[in-house]
């Protein structure tokens, strides 16, 4: 489960991605995702991350987190045109567009999820 630090549920269907091929693929080629879905990308150490929406069929919200799971950047990316580059990212999360507003996510907020053992 993906939660805000105040216990508000953001997503119940979580897919963790840590392998190089699955990170490259992300949500490409999918027709849609459920509203309660989040794909969490896990990195072995913080670094520079670039996200694109090539081969995407729907807009997404991307939440970038540092090693402490604090939101350091948020982007709404449209299909085929979106691109974002962010530094010092330990995790990022892809969700349906509108999740940021619906859940009141903002830079500085902490998220809670269990990525241990991935």
Domain boundaries, the chain: 2-112
- For residues 56 and 21, which has the higher predicted lDDT (pLDDT)? 56
Residues 63-77 pLDDT 10s: 999 999 999 999 999
In this structure, which CATH number among 3.30.230.30, 2.60.120.1140, 3.30.43.10, 3.40.50.300 belongs to the domain 2-112? 2.60.120.1140
100, containing H or E segment: helix 99-103
The average pLDDT across 35-41 equals: 95
User: Taking phi first (over 0 means left), then psi (-120 to 50 degrees means alpha), and beta for anything else, what does residue 5 get?
Assistant: alpha
Report in angstroms the alpha-carbon separations of 16 from 38, 53, 60, 101. 8, 18, 17, 23
The average pLDDT across 12-34 equals: 88
With a cut of 70, say whether residue 118 has pLDDT above it.
no
With a cut of 70, say whether residue 96 has pLDDT above it.
yes
What per-residue confidence (pLDDT) applies to 113?
95
* pTM, full prediction: 0.92
What per-residue confidence (pLDDT) applies to 28?
84
């Amino acid at each position: 489960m993906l939660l805000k630090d105040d216990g508000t549920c953001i997503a119940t269907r979580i897919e963790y991605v840590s392998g190089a091929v699955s990170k490259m693929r992300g949500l490409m080629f999918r027709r849609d995702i459920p509203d309660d879905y989040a794909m969490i990308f896990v990195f072995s150490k913080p670094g520079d991350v670039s996200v694109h929406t090539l081969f995407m069929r729907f807009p997404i919200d991307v939440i970038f987190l540092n090693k402490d799971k604090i939101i350091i950047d948020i982007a709404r990316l449209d299909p085929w045109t979106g691109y974002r580059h962010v530094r010092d990212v330990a995790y990022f999360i892809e969700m349906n567009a509108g999740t940021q507003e619906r859940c009141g996510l903002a830079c500085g907020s902490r998220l809670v999820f269990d990525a241990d053992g991935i």
